[in-house]
Amino acid sequence: MPQYWTDLVNRLTPYVPGEQRSGTGVIKLNTNENPYPPSDQVLAAINNVTADALRRYPDPQSADLRQALAQYHGVNLDQVFVGNGSDEILALAFMAFFKGKKPLTFPEISYSFYPVYCDLCNITAKMIPLNNDFSLSPDSLSGDCGGIIFPNPNAPTSMAVSKSDIEKLLQDNPNVVVLVDEAYADFGADSVIGLIKQYPNLVVSRTYSKGRSLAGLRIGAAFANANLIEGIRRVKDSFNSYPLDVIAQAAGVASIEDDAYYQKTTRKIIATRERTIELLKGLGYTVLPSSANFIFASPADKNAKRIFSELNKRNILVRYWEHEKLDQWLRITIGTDIEMDKLIQAIKDIS
C-alpha cells in the first residue's frame, strides 16, 4: 500500500477509458465520440463568451441551460439538473440515492463505471446476468434491493429495452430509485424522460457527449421529480457548487436551439450504422441489433483479440475487453462513411 493512501484508495479498481491516441491517420472508433463537429451556432456561442463572463463564477444553477432542456423535453425547470457530463451526475446520484442502503442492482454486463462507483461509495453491487443473446430483461432487475440502474441502450452491447418494459419495472419497484442511463438514447432507444411526471422514483440521465458532439465540454443532465433533483443538488452543493462553466452553459443552450443540425447528424450516424452492420455480416460477423452510436460485433472465427490487435497496428482503434463473456466481441464506434469503409477494408485485409 503506497504511503499516505487510505484503505479506500488502495482497494479501488478505477475505470479504464478507451485509448486516446492522436495523430495523422488515426481512425478512432473506440470511445463512442460523435464523428461530426458541433454546429456553427454552438461554435459562435463559445466565441461570444466575453472576458468579463470568464472572470466571474458561472451561474451555479445553470438556469438558462436547464430552462432550455426543460422546454425541449416538456418538463418543469425544477425537474432538470445539469453537471459535468453524465458521469458526474451518476456519481452524485450514487451518493444521493444508493449509498448506505441495500445492494444496488444493475446488469452484470453494462457500463463499467457502475461497479467503480459502488466501490467508491461502499455500496454492495448486485449484478444480474443478461440473457444468452445479450438482451436485458428489465424484470430480472426487480427484487429486494436499494436501487436499480441500467443503461438504455446498454453498453457495450448496444441493445435497448422498450419503454413499456421500463414502465413495468417502475411499477414493480416503487420504493427504490430506478436510474435509467440514456447516454446513447439519441440513436434509437425510447426515452423515458416523459415518465418522470408519473413515477416519483425515476431518474433519467443524459449526456451531450454522444448525440450533440460535445464530449470535450463535459455536459450532462438528469431529469426527475423535483424532490429527487433537490437530492442531487444537495450533494452537488456539498461537493462543487459551480460544476458547469460559462462556456459549457452557453454551448449547451446553443446546441438545444440548433436541434435541426443534430437531428441531421444523428440520422447520418444511424444510416452508417445500419450499412456497417450489413457489411460486417457479409464478412461472417455476428452483430447485435444496435440502438446506439456503436455496434457490438463478433468475428466468424471468434478471435476478436487478433482483429483488435491487427486493427490497432493499422491505427484503427476499437474496444476490446479481456472478459470471459466479452472476449469474442468488439465494440466499434460508428464514424463517418469514409472511416467505416476503411475499417471494413482493413478487416478484409486482416482476414
**What is the spatial distance between Cα 335 and Cα 272, in angstroms, rounded to a whole number?**
8
Specify whether the CB–CB gap between 340 and 272 falls below 8 A. Answer: yes
Q: End-to-end CA distance of the chain, in Å? A: 45
Specify whether the CB–CB gap between 93 and 201 falls below 8 A. Answer: no
> CATH class for domain 7-36+260-350?
alpha beta
**What is the spatial distance between Cα 316 and Cα 31, in angstroms, rounded to a whole number?**
12
Domain ranges of the chain: 7-36+260-350, 40-258
Quote the pLDDT of residue 1.
Answer: 61
Specify whether the CB–CB gap between 329 and 297 falls below 8 A. Answer: yes
**What is the spatial distance between Cα 205 and Cα 197, in angstroms, rounded to a whole number?**
15
Cis peptide before 115 (omega within 30 of 0): no
Of 65, 289, 119, 108, the C-alpha closest to 189 is 289
Amino acid type, 186: D
Q: Give the fold, CATH level 3, of 40-258.
A: Aspartate Aminotransferase; domain 2 (3.40.640)
Going from the first residue of the chain to its last (351 residues), give the mean pLDDT of each consecutive group of 10, the final group possibly shorter.
Answer: 84 82 87 97 98 96 98 98 96 95 96 94 96 96 96 97 97 97 97 97 97 96 98 95 95 97 98 98 98 97 96 97 94 98 97 81
Domains 7-36+260-350 and 40-258 fall in the same CATH topology? no
Who's near 36: CB < 8 A, 6+ residues apart? Answer: 213, 265, 268, 269, 336
**What is the spatial distance between Cα 94 and Cα 235, in angstroms, rounded to a whole number?**
10
**What is the spatial distance between Cα 294 and Cα 155, in angstroms, rounded to a whole number?**
9
Q: What's the grid cell of residue 128? A: 444480474
Cis peptide before 58 (omega within 30 of 0): no
Go through 185-218 and write b for each residue having 16 or more CB atoms within 10 A of its CB, e for each that does not.
bbbbbbbbbebbeebebbbbbbbbbbbbbbbebb
Quote the pLDDT of residue 20.
Answer: 81
